[in-house]
Amino acid sequence: MFEHISSDAMKPLLFGIIKSLTPSEYEIEFIDERVEKLPERIDSDIIAFSVETYTAKRACILARKYKTEENIIVMGGFHASVMPDELLGYADSVIIGDAEGSWEKFLSDCKEGKPCKKYVSDETKPLCVLNDDPSIYKHSYYGIGVYQISRGCKFNCDFCSIKTMYKCVRRKTADMIAEELKKSKEKIIFFVDDNLFYDKKSAIELFRKIAPLKKKWACQISMDAARDDELLSEMKRSGCFLVLMGFESLNPESLGEMNKKANTAADYDEIIKRIYRHKLMIYGTFVLGCDNDREDVFRRTFDFAVKNKIAVTNFNPLIPMPGTTVYSRMEQDNRLIYDKWWLSDDYRYGETAFIPKNMTPEQLREGCLKMRTDFYSFRCVVKRLFSNPVNFIPMNFFVFVLANIISHREILKKQGQLLGGILNETDTDKT
């Protein structure tokens, strides 16, 4: 997002995917700016950027910096898939959708000296088997492996950008994942699927396949999975220690506004108790600032997270992401504060990008920041740590302490940072 060495960076799954798709005749260097300083110049024939909306401005600035008459700049990722024409102001080519199929065609065209402006992948291509070559990583990432079973999500929340790129859900088989994990040297795994739980049968098959590998793992699940004791039991038995869940809101009206169909706020407390009975920790995410939220939403949500001893949280202001229903609605209602907040020279990380209905933009920004800083204060961390016996399982204790220390540090570093840097007027005109 900006020039900043991060302490919470996860291992880039994309590196292994691109390595798997690239013919051996090509020499590749992978650079992760989150954990290493960029060189002043890059003498490569092709420079490829993976671009998320939060990193779009930084990618544009770096593309301008590294572009020469001899090289080719290509951009892919979620933002390139949603805003390809915008990024073509800085890149020679964009890849819309997944790399599978498109990346190979792009390389072939470059070899012939005829790269196209746009490469559009479809969702019929199978997910590639990951080439997790350790030589491509220059950083340990806390010894955590990152793997993916599926792409896409069976739900369609209106604030989420997943559906802007994926219209269906594609999955690897349990055998494929087990084979990938067998080759992994990491003992701790994070499955980055937007929702690991697609259906009960395939989930249990996966858990039983990976149980003999003795890995410890975390994942994202939806509320329907968290209501199933058999599923939670199989998860724990196969090595799961933490589940990331999108509670999003305690307000039923806000959940309806988000189209969060799997969530029923009335049974949150019971779901949390069920998860704790299986000795799993919870990483809870919340979205504040919906049209039905008022100023009391901050205190109520904070108290809920502390009362329920949630190990790690994200208290996020609602962000209108391009391509989503919420962005279209805000744009139509003239409620966007910035024209393309992700490229603005005024927008800063943690700020509000729209005009809320029942509070000011400043109240939303300060409310979320206070929740974050209070939740990761020493007093609150100690209170949550000692009030939940689940945290004293050796593995859980280590993860709880490390995650809370890192979250506290990153909040202080990131809040108020200008995304990317400064785009000059010439660059802004290109967009």
Contacts of 259 (CB under 8 A, 6+ apart): 155, 156, 157, 158, 325
The token pair that represents 233 in the structure block: 């039991």
* Boundary (domain end) residue, out of 87, 120, 153: 120
Per-residue model confidence (pLDDT) at position 431: 38
Please tell me whether residues 152 and 284 are part of one structural domain. Answer: yes
Strand, coil or helix: 284: strand
Please tell me whether residues 74 and 146 are part of one structural domain. Answer: no
Tell which phi-psi region holds residue 214, choosing left (phi > 0), alpha (psi between -120 and 50) or beta. Answer: left
Average pLDDT score over the chain: 93
Q: Is the pLDDT at 413 greater than 50, yes or no?
A: yes
pLDDT (tens digit per residue) in 58-114 = 999 999 999 999 999 999 999 999 999 999 999 999 999 999 999 999 999 999 999
Helices (H) and strands (E) in the chain, counts: 18, 12
CATH number at residue 35: 3.40.50.280
Please tell me whether residues 202 and 323 are part of one structural domain. Answer: yes
* Residue 225 domain flag: yes
Of 194-203, 299-308, 405-414, the poorest mean pLDDT is in 194-203
Please tell me whether residues 70 and 218 are part of one structural domain. Answer: no
* Residue 389 domain flag: yes
Q: Is the pLDDT at 176 greater than 90, yes or no?
A: yes
* Residue 307 domain flag: yes
CB 158 within 8 A of CB 258: yes
Q: Is the pLDDT at 242 greater than 70, yes or no?
A: yes
Per-residue model confidence (pLDDT) at position 33: 95
* Residue 263 domain flag: yes
* Residue 18 domain flag: yes
Q: Is the pLDDT at 189 greater than 90, yes or no?
A: yes
pLDDT band at 275 (very low <50, low <70, confident <90, very high): very high
* Residue 272 domain flag: yes
* Residue 331 domain flag: yes
Contacts of 97 (CB under 8 A, 6+ apart): 81, 120, 121, 122, 123, 165
Per-residue model confidence (pLDDT) at position 424: 59
Please tell me whether residues 160 and 215 are part of one structural domain. Answer: yes
pLDDT (tens digit per residue) in 162-173 = 878 888 889 999
CB 158 within 8 A of CB 324: yes
CATH number at residue 300: 3.20.20.70
pLDDT band at 115 (very low <50, low <70, confident <90, very high): very high
Across 20-27, average pLDDT = 94
Please tell me whether residues 222 and 348 are part of one structural domain. Answer: yes
Per-residue model confidence (pLDDT) at position 153: 84
Residue 344 structural domain: 140-414
Per-residue model confidence (pLDDT) at position 70: 95
Q: Is the pLDDT at 258 greater than 90, yes or no?
A: yes
Q: What single-letter DSSP state applies at residue 352?
A: -
Domain total in the chain: 2
Please tell me whether residues 78 and 165 are part of one structural domain. Answer: no
Please tell me whether residues 310 and 244 are part of one structural domain. Answer: yes
Per-residue model confidence (pLDDT) at position 197: 85
Q: Is the pLDDT at 426 greater than 60, yes or no?
A: no
pLDDT (tens digit per residue) in 352-375 = 999 999 999 999 999 999 999 999
- Each residue of 253-282: b (16+ CB within 10 Å) or e? ebbebbebebbebeebeebbebbbebebbb
Please tell me whether residues 112 and 169 are part of one structural domain. Answer: no
Across 213-229, average pLDDT = 94
Please tell me whether residues 92 and 183 are part of one structural domain. Answer: no
CB 26 within 8 A of CB 136: no
Q: Which one has a higher pLDDT value, 428 or 325?
A: 325
Please tell me whether residues 112 and 160 are part of one structural domain. Answer: no
* Residue 176 domain flag: yes
Q: Angle at Cα 348 formed by Cα 313 and Cα 409, nearest 5°?
A: 40
* pTM, rounded to two decimals: 0.93
Please tell me whether residues 110 and 144 are part of one structural domain. Answer: no
The sheet with strand 72-76 has its strands ordered as: 46-50, 72-76, 93-96, 118-120
